[in-house]
Structure formats: structure tokens, C-alpha cells
Structure 1
Amino acid sequence: MGLIVKTGKIAITGGIATGKSTVARMFAELGAIILDADQVAREVVEVGTPCWKSLHHLLGPAFFEKDGQLKRRKLRDCIIDDRECRNKVNAILHPSILEKMEQEWQYHHRTHPGRPVIFDIPLLFEGKFHPHFGTIILVYVPQEIQIRRLMERDGLSRPEAEKTLTMQLPIDSKKSLSHLIIDNSYSIDHTKQQVQAVWNQLKN
């Protein structure tokens, strides 16, 4: 399996409710090719794939619809509530996600030489993907803003929002591991200015 080696590859990450997807779209508008790890994760568990078979063996039929589709909400609840479940599921998914993203990077690197390719990986650090990247961009907001946005966006109580955040590495820990920080705490124009500045660095 061809893993992503640590080169000039670029990743963007963040935390829940930091606005990473919005920032990734800004980079796409500037001309970046965005490779979405969430989309890849959906593809690798399509019915009949090796990952699907491994998950079916691990979790049992209760986690699957009659047509074989994975019950994503049920899996999400299991991952939130059970660390052992989370670790076993990640051990199945992450190698296949890395391999498929490497294949996509090779394709775009070959067909669009010189155009920055950015891997959009929400769980970059939690999944231990970060050693494979030379440049890591973090979309940052303070944890208190994460909690407030999560409550507003998903209709969660404060305890529920705080529990959801425990699934991820604290945002300030991610900040210390990243190379470039985009603070998304303020206005959209403020964020766009930072994105443009980072883009200029990537292009150079």
C-alpha cells in the first residue's frame, strides 16, 4: 500500500464547528484542488468494499440497513460512546482512506502540475495522519466559540456539545502542532484576508 510520504503535501484541518469547510471552499475558489477525506471515507465503506466487509464482521448486521448500507448515525453514536469501538473502526478505515487519497493526489499532481492540492482532513491529528504532511493549516477558533457554535448549529445542550468535543484533540493542542493558523473567530472578511495570505505562501 502506497502511503503518503512526508513531502510538500498540504493538509487543512480544524475542530468541530471551527468553519474548516468554509475555509476549504475559499481555497478552492482561489484555485486549489481540495481532496475531501470525509467523501473518501464514504467511498471506502460502500457496500462490498473491503472496509465494508471488515466493518460488517466487527459490528454485526445491526449496524447495516437491509440493502447493506452502513447506518452512519448508529456508527457515530458507537464511536462517541465507546473508545474501543472508535479505535477498532479507525484501524479499519484510516489505512484505506490514506491509500485512496494518495491515489487521488498522484492523479491531480500528474494532470494539474503546479496547482496546489490540499487534503481536507477533519481528524488529521486524531487519526495520526499528520506525519505524512509537510504543511498543516489549522482553522482555529477558541474552544468556547466551538461550544457555542455547536449548540446553535446542532441544537445541542452545553453538556452534549462538550461531550462531542471530547472526541477530538483540544483545539489548542492542534494549534501547537500546525504550521499555519487561520483564526476564524471574527468576520468573514478577516478570514478571507488570512486565507489569501496563506495562499500566497503556498503559491510561492
Structure 2
Amino acid sequence: MADTALTAPLRSPLSHAADRLAAATRTSGGAVRLAELPFLTQFNVRLDPKGAAADAVGLALGLQLPVEPGTVVRAGELTALWLGPDEWLVVGPPGGRRGLESRIREAAGDEPVSVVDVSAQRTTLLVAGPRAHDLLAHGCSLDLHPRVFGPGRCAQTTLGRTQVVLVARDDPRAGFWVLVRSSFAGYLTDWLLDAAVEWTG
């Protein structure tokens, strides 16, 4: 009997590239680390940052939604990325979609709020290692020096001509998250592997 959408196991957009990412990491001698972080829970949240809902949602999530442009707030397993003056991306571990959505909606109460599950829209690539900045700089026009784009920073930008959300992790050794639309994930993975050749041989 053929698998159906209800019974088929989840398949990440980059499951076919896992071996190539692992091989690049192995052959780089520790210079770069590349991996997919599939199935992260992702919700786009829009609300008035000065309204009652902002504080209530922050309290329910255990973190304050960041109000400074291009910043990230992290608490426990949740991360909130500033995308605009009234827009955030809340990222959590796989499998937390229903619980996270209900927490946000219940906290907002009757206040106007938009909560959209975009978990299937993007996948996440991890780019880490001592050469992570150099690798990303091959295709990103942002200044990625830690003094400028250090831990706790995020940006909507392009990488290898692909629109991404780039996140500098808390610890510089943890590298970057690159959130990319699933339909472009294969292309971007090929681009990253090609750009990393100088370290992976």
C-alpha cells in the first residue's frame, strides 16, 4: 500500500544531502562544520510591540520579544528573531508546533495578533567552525565580523543569491543558523559545498 500524506514519515528537504554535508565537515579538518537542523518549529508572530499582548506573549514564552532591529533573544529551547518593528520569528525544537501556537494565542487573549505556522516553509542549515565567517562571506554582502554581526544578531539577507534569515549563535563557536526556504535548500547546500572546497579539498 502506498504511503499517504498522513502516514508517510517526515522527510527533510536535505535528507539526500546529509552524507555530502557530513563528508565536507569530515574532510575540512575542523575548519567548517555543515549540517541540516530539520523540522525546527517556526512561527511568524505579528503584534503591537507596545501593546499588552507583547508583554503577555513574552511572559508565556519565557522570553521578551526583541525590540532592537536585527537582534535575537534566546531562553531555554526557544529563540525569538526580530524581523520587523511588529514582526518576529519564534523558533523552537521539532515537534512543538501545537503547544507553542496555543501558548501565544492564549497569552494574547483578545489583543490583535497574527500567529502563522511557517515550520514547513524553511529548513535550517548550521554553518560553524573557525572558517564559518569566511565561507559565508563568499556569498553574503553583510559584514560578518564578530564586532558587527556577533552573537545575538540576525538579518534577512541573501546568501549565494538566495534569500535567507541569518542568525549568529550565542557562542561564536556555535556558528550560524541559515534559515532558507525549502525549495531553495538544495541549491544553497550545493553552493555552500562548492564554496567550502578550499577547506574540504
* TM-score of the aligned structures, taking structure 1 as reference length: 0.30
* TM-score of the aligned structures, taking structure 2 as reference length: 0.30
Which one has a larger percent helix, Structure 1 or Structure 2?
1
Asked which structure has the greater RCO (Cα within 8 Å, sep 6+), the reply is 1
